[in-house]
Amino acid sequence: MSEPGGTSRRLPGRVLTILALEPDAPAIEFEGRWHSWRELSMVIDRLDESLKNAGVGRQAPIGMLLRNTPSMVGAMLAAVATERSIVTLNPHQGDAKIARDILEVRAPVILATARDWERDAVRSAARESTALGIVLTGDPIDPVRVVPGLERPGPGPHRGPAPGVAVEMLTSGTTGPPKRIPLATSVFERTILAAGDHYRKKGDGDRSPRLKQGVAIVSSPFVHMSGLFRTLLNVCEGRKMALLPRFAVEPWVALVRRHRPRAVSLVPAALRMVLDADVEPADLSSIEVVTSGTAKLEPEIQIAFERRFAIPVLPSYGATEFAGGVAGWTLTLHREWGEKKRGSVGRPQPGREIRVVAQDSGEPVAADETGLIEIRSGGEATWQRTTDLGRIDADGFLWIAGRSDDAILRGGFKIMPDDVRRALLLHPAVREASVVGLSDPRLGQVPVAAVELHDSAAVGGDEILAFAREHLTSYQAPAAIRIVPALPRTPSLKVSQEGVRALFEDGSS
């Protein structure tokens, strides 16, 4: 692939080209300070030098405890630019869990911020795995150091090289134990180009590398695909970023007021948080569009946000296996179809094909019939099946209907958790709900629900259960309801089904 004028459009070349355009220009704002493109380049150079000195060559996997910091952006870019692979590790976990993860990935290199190297569990696990230890100091002059006592990879056993793999992405773990999915550099290249085409203004076909005006706000965690992908996309597009360690309403609004972005991205939970915080519409007056993904966006939340702030919200659908977005809305689609297709995640993005097949036969189904979603990119011959259920209507819009592996089989009856959840949301006191299946010795599985109430609500689980029974068939009704102050969530603010299940399995329900 080549850019107009012959510049390489491969991801490593694109990253290095952007960083070299104006090295001293601002690149990332973090905690009130701007970091330049040169500082990112310095992380790349120093990290590459440290790895080479320790005998770690190209295509080697690097276990990264991904925190939202500028130096971690540099480390991610270093892996991409030097064709090594990122093995994602989630630092937002307890010490015992992160230690187990470090040992399980068997990476020859463990990289983390100084904050995480202060954890005894991280040091002990890296030492036991005989990994090279790399610390990101946060110092712009001396950004990368080797951890004393972990100067070289030991005898292992370590995982071998991963040719062509950019990231082994840890899934969010919303429905079960997280797993790692290998994503090729070519997948990121296709997705970044598709995203650029999807959001590029009509008639603007110029993809030549240049630094752009405006600032993108990044608040999604790097350990989740949305944060990692959007960061890479912004770098490849030459766009400055304002980076938050995590999403919180007040600092996010402060960044919006200061940088006046025209487009922002908010996951559904963040949309709700902005609404609940009673943010003044004037504070968001620069925003022309909000994109929302990673989890299902309830139409009621979309309507409430659009009415309060007069900003169109564009839902989207993505899959980790495709390194990000697969389907979405544009402003043009929103203007024409927004009211009629409320609840849809839009149409396939450029370069994507989506179809729905029957769960039993695997054959494509007719319009508006529900089945398993399959995706392919760039004219590839092979369709990749997801575990997501959905339908495509006669106008080509995709509707998500849950996950096939979420289905609860209660005494032979199939229950989709989302059907039960929607019934619970009809109760005026219920702010949010999550439904999971628990093992049952007689029926196989039974549904249970954790419920988060509106602040002023004062109702009990029995009342909500009675209400649910009026709106569901008998076998769909939850066997138990637990009211919680807040639903357990992953770092990307998705509701964690494993966390909900633990509420009932710990014996305290």
* pLDDT at 198 (0 to 100): 44
CB 47 within 8 A of CB 144: yes
CB 270 within 8 A of CB 247: yes
* pLDDT at 7 (0 to 100): 33
Q: Retrieve residue 453's tokens.
A: 């109430």
* pLDDT at 251 (0 to 100): 97
Cα three-residue angle 463-465-466, rounded to 5 degrees: 65
Cα three-residue angle 35-37-41, rounded to 5 degrees: 110
Q: Retrieve residue 193's tokens.
A: 């180009």
* pLDDT at 86 (0 to 100): 93
> Residue 362's CB: how many other CB atoms inside 10 A?
12
Please tell me whether the peptide bond between 157 and the residue prior to it is cis, using omega within 30 degrees of 0.
Answer: yes
Q: Retrieve residue 267's tokens.
A: 């996951």
Mean pLDDT by 10 residues, the chain (509 residues): 39 90 96 95 96 92 96 95 92 90 94 96 95 95 95 89 86 56 81 56 59 92 87 92 95 97 91 93 96 86 95 89 82 94 92 90 92 84 87 95 83 85 92 90 89 85 91 90 91 84 71
* pLDDT at 171 (0 to 100): 67
CB 93 within 8 A of CB 142: no
Give the SS3 label for residue 220. Answer: coil
Q: How far apart are CA 282 and CA 435, in angstroms?
A: 37
Give the SS3 label for residue 357. Answer: strand
What residue ranges define each of the domains in the chain, with the CATH number in brackets?
A: 35-184 (3.40.50.980), 348-403 (2.30.38.10), 407-505 (3.30.300.30)
**Sequence-separated contacts (24+) of 146-151 with Cβ below 8 Å:** 146/50, 146/54, 147/117, 147/123, 150/110, 150/126, 151/54
Report the predicted TM-score, pTM, of the whole model to 2 decimal places: 0.81
* pLDDT at 258 (0 to 100): 96
